[in-house]
Structure 1
Amino acid sequence: MRKVIRVIGVLLLIAGIGFFSYPIVLRESFHRQARKAMEQFADIRAESSAAQEGEDMPYADLRSAMFAYNEALYLSGQRGLIDQLSYEEPDFHLSDYGINSQVLGTISIPAIDVELPIYNGASEENMTKGAAYLANTSLPVGGENTNCVIAAHTRYHGVPMFKRITELQLGDEIYITNFWETLVYRVSETKVIDPSDSRNIYIQPGRSLVTLSTCHPFPKNYQRYLVYAELVE
């Protein structure tokens, strides 16, 4: 009987250790994956920077296509932005330009210690891996009449992705790095909205914005918290 009790005790101890260590394992796994994605993006960017020293702009066709996409998006009134699926399924693919990656860039917010890869399209899978560009909003290359919307979970498996964006103050800086440059944005406004009110993430004529979005209030998540930031010229 004592042997059985000892075995049960050992099993309970193992189960307890597993219960408490599981979130740590998930967090470490997330950080490893995010670091790997950002390192791969940095490698591609380094190759393009090296090529830029020559005569031709690296990925010149991709850069032109991104700006053309943003202009067409603005002129169309973002008519493709109609439901949740339109956020998830991008109609712009890096693979069409010879880049075998789903990462459009990286986002860094020093004030709240955030650094994440930006995945192309806010699908459920992409949202588990980092920040996600909302399809049918402006691609992250700046320019007038643009609003690049980047979403992330408030907290996922213990990882505080965008949980602290509620702490951002006017003037705090957000850095968006694409294949060619790092764009600097300054926080200009914050807002709490209903999830169905997509008007708040539309392009605002004459402005160059990046908008951060996350669920709010944590953990009830029945609203969305938005941070608008203006490109620093």
Structure 2
Amino acid sequence: MTKKNVIFKILGLILVFIGLALFLASVLLNVRQYREAAKTLKEFRETKEEIENDSDLQEAYKEKEESKDYEEGELLYILKIPSIDSKNPVKEGVESNVLSDSLGHDPSTAYAGEQGNCVIAGHRNYSFGKYFNRLNEVQIGDELYLETMTEEYCYEVTEIKVVEPTDTYILENIGDEETLTLYTCTPIYIATHRLVIIATRVNN
């Protein structure tokens, strides 16, 4: 075997090891995120049960939800998308530390239950989080649910589109309705554009 062939063989092995390392890192991240989301959902359910059995606690949470006085990283909602079997926590903020283990609510936009556009962002790849990995499967007419500690709001998908990363108009209010906008990077892994799902609140 020539020296050149040996070098190519070594480089090939190095690339294989790098690929395996990246794959294992993705798997470990996926497991960590799954456990973190499961833990958050469990804590949410336990707290909600306590609230339902305590009128004073229920009133306190209602006042907090009305005040909209939330800190970055604080749990706001559980977003449920039955059509893709998705149920994930939504925390306040869209910074990287928030989106690493949950979906994030843009604090510059409306909140669930009030007039305006409630905007929620999330990742959809194994490097940064897979919470919106199946968002591209959502269809017009599908129902989305935002569950708080005291209420649940239902929205119906009315529009699906792909926009440029610079198209910040998706954060703006849409008329005088209560709307919910979900957005994530697309295509998956390449992320040159943004997939946007727009839904309007319906009676529930």
Q: Please tell me the TM-score bracket, short chain as reference.
A: 0.7 to 0.9
**Higher strand share goes to which structure?**
2
**Structure 2 residue corresponding to 1:93, chosen from 64, 67, 70:** 70
2:83 maps to a residue whose letter is: A
Q: Please list the CA deviations of residues 23-63 of structure 1 after superposition, one character each: whole Å capped at 9, or x if unmatched.
A: 332211111111111222222222222223x7973423213
Query: Does residue 36 of the first structure (1) align with residue 39 of the second (2)?
Result: yes
Instruction: With the length of structure 2 as denominator, give the TM-score of the two structures.
Output: 0.81
- Number of the residue aligned with 1:116: 88
Match in the other structure for 1:64: 66
AA paired with 1:42?
A: R
Distance 1:129 1:160 in 2: 9
Q: Tell me, which stretches of 5 or more residues in structure 1 are unaligned?
A: 1-11, 67-91, 96-100
Equivalence for 2:48: 45
Distance (Å, rounded) in 1 between the aligned partners of 2:184 and 2:51: 32
* 2:169 match: secondary structure: helix
Residues 76-101 of structure 1 deviation map (CA, whole Å, 9 limit, x = unaligned): xxxxxxxxxxxxxxxx4259xxxxx7
Equivalent residue, structure 1, for 2:122: 152
Per-residue CA deviation, residues 135-170 of structure 1 (Å, 9 max, x unaligned), is: 201122x23x22111110021338532122111111
CA contact (8 A) 2:183 2:194 kept: yes
Aligned-pair distance for 1:231?
Answer: 1.0
Cα drift, residue 122 of structure 1: 0.5
- Residue pair 1:149, 1:212 contacting (<8 A) in 2 also: yes
- Aligned partner of 2:10 in structure 1 is none
Residues in 2 aligned to 1:61 and 1:182: alpha-carbon distance in whole angstroms: 16
- The yes-or-no answer on 1:208 pairing with 2:178 is yes
Distance 1:56 1:28 in 2: 34
Preserved CA contact (<8 Å) 2:121 2:183: yes
5+ long unaligned stretches in structure 2: 1-13
- TM-aligned CA deviation for residue 133 of structure 1: 0.5
Which of 131, 144, 149 aligns to 2:103? It is: 131
The one-letter code matched in structure 2 to 1:132 is G
Identify the match of residue 173 of structure 1 among 126, 143, 147: 143
Contact conserved, 1:49 with 1:58, CA < 8 A, in 2? no
Name the structure 1 match of 2:168: 198
Displacement of 1:111 after TM fit? 1.1
Instruction: Check the 8 A contact 2:99/2:129 in 1, yes or no.
Output: no
Structure 1 residues 94 and 150, CA, compared in 2 at 3 Å: closer, same or farther?
same
Superposed CA RMSD in Å reads 2.6
Give the equivalent residue in structure 1 for 2:159.
Answer: 189
Q: Percent identical across equivalent pairs? A: 26
How many residues end up aligned between the 2 structures? 187
Tell me the alpha carbon deviations over residues 168-213 of structure 1, each in whole angstroms, 9 at most, x when there is no partner.
Answer: 1111111111111121111110111122221122111221111000
> 1:57 is aligned with what amino acid?
E
Secondary structure at the aligned position of 1:57 is classed as helix
Question: 1-side partners of 2:119 and 2:44: how far apart?
Answer: 20
- After alignment, is 128-137 or 19-28 more displaced? 19-28
